[in-house]
Structure 1
Amino acid sequence: MKEPVVLIPGLACDARLFRHQLLHLSLHRPVMVVQPQGATVEEMSAALLPQLPPRSVLVGVGLGGDVALDLLRRSLDGFSRIVLISTDPLSEAPAIAAAREARMVAARSGRLFQAVAEEYPTADMGPNRARIEALLRDMAEHLGEGVYLRQQKAMQRRPDQQKTLRRAMIPALILGGRLDTLVPPRRHEFVAELMPFATLHMIEGVGHLLPLEAPEAVTTALEEFLRGPMLLR
């Protein structure tokens, strides 16, 4: 049986982030989407770990990638591969953490979508900007203010995972957008250099929300990666 794939959405996103990947990957293997629950990355990974099938493939976007890394930290032998999309594995810089406070104030005052819109710069989104913005609004409203606030706090307090990256003796795919201003290309290159068995794939002309901005390219990269050999340990 092929390895099951576990998809973990990013901040203010639900399963619709992975619509294209769900449609295509599920034709050939088991696929599940898990929504992180908790106030910290560590709480989220601790709650998810018992739910996941053994030897699965972790695929995370942004916050979802941070959760995937913390799952790997907890169980280095429990997963067969990992894909980090638009993921910053370092702890948050104080200036960026402070900027999140203003967005949380906006969310608490009834301006949730304004906060989410400020989270994801529209200039990075390419020609499908209007469609992506509409979907972001729907996903944020579906998840609600409480989830958004907990996820923001988790991003502020996320752990530095450099040690996990170095210890990850499994195939890894690092996917980034060349126009991403939130996790720039140099950060993706840094992550790939730290991981012993990582492949870096940068997608031209798109920014941070790769599964929405370049769904076909992301699915193709995932399918090629999943066809690659597993490491025997």
Structure 2
Amino acid sequence: MTPLLLLPGMMCDARLFQPQIDALSGRIPLITAPIGNHDTMQALAEEILNYAPPHFAMAGLSMGGILAMEVLRQAPDRVDRIGLLDTNPLAEIPEVQARRAPQIKAAKNGELRRIMRDEMKPNYLADGPNMGAILDLCMAMATDLGPDVFINQSCALRDRPDQCDTLRQFERPALVLCGREDKLCPVERHEMMHKLLPNSRLQIIDGAGHLPTLEQPEITTAALIRWLEDT
């Protein structure tokens, strides 16, 4: 049975996928990975490939999806299928790059909680009954990971390459999924990825923003199961 590698978003860990882990752990082998030990996508992908099994399915959300595309670029023959959730195949635009340096400086000065509270968390979620609990979890994950991971991830995102050609060349089953209210990686970006991928399924989830794994966990898990069963 092909293992599923789950790659979390920026300043998140495996808790981002906890509902999916709970639902899938009795069905398939699951692997989760930290993604903060290096400051380039290339080095992060190399680390993952060093301990990943010879062949695997892979799903990543946000930065995890960006990293998944780099893993795919480096080792396309090892990836059985790919799931891209609330993510972006393009290089970072200059306006976003310009915001990185002040955030990195602030993180070095002990202001990580403020950055997460004021600059990141407000963009994460659609309105919903679990919004407060999910935001609390996001803060807990970020503070547990700490400023060094924030700095590494900021640099890796800032300097990432465009991966459109990587997607065009991948012919195995792909899932492109996002929350309809995602402010960071909007629906249009996912429609573009769906068109780039020769064999993809597109799913837009109502009532979710940037973190549908937590906002609409049952719908997201069902989409992942369908994708894992695609041929």
TM-score normalised by structure 1 residue count: 0.94
Q: Post-superposition shift, 1:224?
A: 1.3
* Amino acid across the alignment from 1:162: C
Question: Contact conserved, 1:13 with 1:140, CA < 8 A, in 2?
Answer: yes
Query: Residue 22 of structure 1 corresponds to which residue in structure 2?
Result: 21
Q: Post-superposition shift, 1:55?
A: 2.1
Count residues with an aligned counterpart: 228
Alignment of 1:102-121 (within 5 A): 102-117=102-117, 118-121=119-122
Query: Residue 35 of structure 1 corresponds to which residue in structure 2?
Result: 34
The answer on 1:152 being equivalent to 2:151 is: no
Indicate how the Cα distance of structure 1 residues 213 and 79 shifts in structure 2: closer, same or farther if over 3 A, else same. Answer: same
The answer on 1:220 being equivalent to 2:222 is: yes
Distance 1:112 1:34 in 2: 22
Q: Report Cα offsets for 1:95-134 as digits up to 9, x if no partner.
A: 0111233322332222212212312325733222211111
**Structure 2 unmatched runs, 5+:** none
Alignment of 1:89-104 (within 5 A): 89-104=89-104
Q: SS where residue 47 of structure 1 aligns?
A: helix
Question: Contact conserved, 2:123 with 2:183, CA < 8 A, in 1?
Answer: no
Alignment of 1:131-146 (within 5 A): 131-146=133-148
Distance 2:42 2:8 in 1: 16
* Amino acid across the alignment from 1:210: P
Distance 2:44 2:191 in 1: 26
* Amino acid across the alignment from 1:16: R
Q: Post-superposition shift, 1:73?
A: 0.6
Is 7-16 or 113-122 further displaced after alignment?
Answer: 113-122
Q: SS where residue 76 of structure 2 aligns?
A: coil
Alignment of 1:83-94 (within 5 A): 83-94=83-94
Is 100-109 or 196-205 further displaced after alignment?
Answer: 100-109
Q: Report Cα offsets for 1:159-194 as digits up to 9, x if no partner.
A: 100110111111100011110111111000001101
TM-score normalised by structure 2 residue count: 0.95
Query: Residue 125 of structure 2 corresponds to which residue in structure 1?
Result: 124
* Amino acid across the alignment from 1:133: L
Distance 1:112 1:62 in 2: 19
* Amino acid across the alignment from 1:187: R
Distance 1:197 1:54 in 2: 22
Q: Report Cα offsets for 1:16-58 as digits up to 9, x if no partner.
A: 1110111111111100101123101111001111211122111
Distance 1:125 1:41 in 2: 28
* Amino acid across the alignment from 2:156: A
**Structure 1 unmatched runs, 5+:** none
Distance 1:213 1:102 in 2: 30
